[in-house]
A and B are shown apart, each in its own frame.
Chain A
Amino acid sequence: MMTIAPTSAPAGLASRLGPLARELGVTTFLGAVLFLPFIGLYSENLTSGLQLVKRWEDWAWAIGAVFVGRLLLIVWREWPGRRRSTGALGAALRPVGSFLRYNMTSIGLIALVLAIAFPLTSFGNRYTIDVATTWMIYIMLGWGLNIVVGLAGLLDLGYVAFYAVGAYSYALLATEFGWSFWVCLPLAGLFAAFFGVTLGFPVLRLRGDYLAIVTLGFGEIIRVILLNWVPVTHGPNGVSAIPRPSFFGFEFSRTASDGAMTFHQLLGIDYSPLHRVIFLFYVILALAVLTNLFTQRIRRLPVGRAWEALREDEIACRSLGINPTNIKLSAFALGAMFGGFAGSFFATRQGFISPESFSFMESAVILAIVVLGGMGSQVGVVIAAFVLVVMPEIFREFEQYRMLVFGAAMVAVMVWRPGGLLAYRDPTLRLGGKKGRVAPEGDPA
């Protein structure tokens, strides 16, 4: 490869200079047009009213940045000897992906042991455990949505609705009736699953994009209901003073209420507020592991197989005696159930919830975790949740750039790893080139 490229590339490059220059010109022009309203003209809210500020210098800088960026991209792309090696990121991740795939069980176990040990080590302070707990919540949500999107191939843009149903059902049952977390947890899952079936039944006949729109709407409807059904949900004020979970009846507090025993008294150790944080981490870890094991298991059962088959070819499935609606409903309900579990955990951890926590952005992040991780990949979800949730947390100072990096990361993945960071199931096909990608004829659009 190296020997051919230097001789052939310059000649080829010379003939392509024209198109390359045009590409550069077009990009710069587009940049100029786009940045004119975004950057060049800026409306400022002054006391005297809305004022149009013209920022020609900033505009020029932005155009310059586009020009230089495109130039660098072209040089990088056309660099002799590099042209044939497709996507450096892809090439770098491929062996990582297959290594992970073949050692999945041991890696999973090691990760689990590390996760269990982590709060007890010197790394486990309040901040790190909190961040890890958040990570775990998103892993669990990712794994739950993965059943729907990754395995069954149903694009659900309103997953947060089930999270909200779980959170509110625990919050309300606990504050209104004083039910304990451990009773409400399965109930929250059931409620969410029930909502999943209720929504799914009418809409699962819809295909791809229509389903996405309806689920998007459903997510918003749930949020709007939470916001406006004030007598029950307390509207925008949310539900506060949600009871924290106890350790099988032993509270995590300095002094026990009315004669009961607290957790630290039970173990005969000094009280530390960290106990509850650690305990919460273990709870969500257990829930996430449960989600994972369940998914691993069900994937091998007929219903799990049917999900995958359905994603590939609905007509073939029907001719094999599978009832698509029931199978899709089961995926929807199970995904919703795990969303509900995660929701009730979220409620007990925060102690306060309001509709704000369940905006569309939340659905988008969870979906991004699944897609970025590589639809259907369990490990991919862990990594993607780290990238999308933990990294922004760590780099909180760069808050302003979060969305920018987020967008750039998504674009990068779509360009280099269209199947997600760790594409599930088809590494050999992709390595083999186009041949493996043949779609079944008459693919249902």
Chain B
Amino acid sequence: MPDPVIRPDTPLLEVEGVRTRYGMIEALRGVDLSVHAGEIVTLIGSNGAGKTTLLNTICGEPRAHSGTVRFAGQDITRLATDRIVRLGIAHSPEGRRIFSRMTVYENLQMGALIADPAHFQDDLRQVFTLFPRLEERREQRGGTLSGGEQQMLAIGRALMSRPRLLLLDEPSLGLAPLVVRQIFAAIQEINQRQGMTVFLVEQNAFHALRLAHRAYVLVNGLVTLSGPGSELLANPEIRAAYLEGGH
């Protein structure tokens, strides 16, 4: 299959009219969005809006029953998950899912499984620079880490595969505000220092929107709003729906 010609403005990730069902229930009802190289794009939505389903659909499990997902111009809608990940999409799944019986170091090794071993040391250095806590706890078992450390490990593990696109599913879930700030600072650093493209899915709208170049709002499986992060942050509707109580 010849590579489609990639125009400079081709988004790295392009989701077009994606619908995903669980049995009879349609969790995504035609989602359109795009992520360009170098951006941090955020998708906010309340619990059950379909955020996780969207990330999982991008990774091919569950599969979209209509619509297309393109990565760097290539249609990946029908590819198997491992193929998709090997194309350069790293997915830090909901609930972190680190390997609790393996050490921090082994978890990071698992992340690097599909990467060129020649880069392993460099990448490890980079992760440890980003999260010095992980280096201190290198030999500790994943299951004994604190929630924040587990999240750092989940992100670090995803980075070890040298992705072009990093998908993060609610990295702030269940973390104390101070830790949340650290995590988001790290995400920003990954984006600015390494030029990593990040697609971040969050309920924690305040932090996520402040960080994002662009953002989408997902309600009941449909994108209802989009725009620059700062714009959405100022939007009264958004403030009422997602930021009540303030942070």
Contact = CB atoms under 8 A, between A and B. Distances in A.
Interface residues of A, number: 29
A321 B113 contact: yes
B114 interface: yes
A318 B61 contact: yes
A440 B95 CA distance: 8
A313 B99 contact: yes
Interface stretch (B9-17, B78-86, B202-210, B238-246): B78-86
Contacts of A320: 85, 110-111, 113-114, 157, 161
Contacts of A318: 59, 61, 81-82, 85
A315 interface: yes
B95 A436 contact: no
Nearest to B61: A318
Nearest to B97: A316
Contacts of A315: 93, 97
Contacts of B85: 318-321
A435 B106 CA distance: 20
A320 B59 CA distance: 11
Contacts, number: 85
9 contacts: A305-B110, A318-B61, A318-B81, A319-B97, A320-B111, A322-B113, A429-B144, A436-B141, A440-B97
Contacts of B81: 318-319, 321
B105 to A, nearest CB: 11
Contact of B100 (A306, A317, A321, A440): A440
Which DSSP category, helix, strand, loop or mixed, fits chain A's interface?
helix
A323 interface: yes
Contacts of A305: 106, 109-110, 113
A425 interface: yes
B214 interface: no
Nearest to B99: A312
Interface string A412-435: 000000000000011011001001
A313 B141 contact: no
7 tightest A-B contacts by CB? A321-B85, A316-B97, A321-B114, A319-B91, A323-B82, A441-B95, A312-B99
A426 B101 CA distance: 7
A138 B165 CA distance: 49
A109 interface: no
Contacts of A19: none
A116 interface: no
A442 interface: yes
A38 B183 CA distance: 64
Contacts of A441: 95, 97
Given A321-B81, A436-B141, 9 more contacts: A312-B100, A318-B61, A318-B82, A319-B97, A320-B110, A322-B113, A428-B141, A429-B141, A438-B143
Contact of B144 (A309, A432, A440): A432
B102 A309 contact: yes
A308 interface: yes
A315 B158 CA distance: 13
A375 to B, nearest CB: 11
A58 B105 CA distance: 61
A53 B95 CA distance: 62
Interface in B117-131: none
B233 interface: no
Contacts of B109: 305
A18 interface: no
Nearest to A438: B143
A306 B109 CA distance: 10
B114 A312 contact: no
Nearest to B167: A319
Contacts of A12: none
Contacts of B143: 429, 436-438
A321 B98 CA distance: 14
Nearest to B84: A321
Contacts of A313: 97, 99
